Chains A and B, each alone.
Chain A
Amino acid sequence: GAGVSQTPSNKVTEKGKYVELRCDPISGHTALYWYRQSLGQGPEFLIYFQGTGAADDSGLPNDRFFAVRPEGSVSTLKIQRTERGDSAVYLCASSLISDRRITGTQGNEQFFGPGTRLTVL
Chain B
Amino acid sequence: AQRVTQPEKLLSVFKGAPVELKCNYSYSGSPELFWYVQYSRQRLQLLLRHISRESIKGFTADLNKGETSFHLKKPFAQEEDSAMYYCALSGRGGKLQFGAGTQVVVTP
Contacts and interface: CB of A to CB of B under 8 A. Distances in A.
Interface residues of B, number: 25
A31 B92 CA distance: 13
B93 A109 contact: no
A30 to B, nearest CB: 11
Q: Is the interface of B mostly helix, strand, loop or mixed?
A: mixed
Nearest to B41: A114
B32 A100 contact: yes
Contacts of B28: none
Given A40-B100, A104-B52, A31 B94 contact: yes
B94 A43 contact: no
A41 interface: yes
Contact of B94 (A35, A40, A108): A108
Contacts of B90: 100, 108
Interface string A37-52: 0001111110010100
17 contacts: A31-B93, A40-B9, A41-B100, A41-B101, A42-B86, A42-B88, A42-B101, A43-B44, A44-B98, A56-B92, A95-B94, A97-B94, A99-B93, A100-B32, A108-B94, A109-B49, A114-B43
Interface of A: 3, 31, 33, 35, 40-45, 48, 50, 55-56, 59, 91, 95, 97-100, 103-104, 108-115
Interface of B: 4, 6, 9, 32, 43-46, 49, 51-52, 86, 88, 90-101
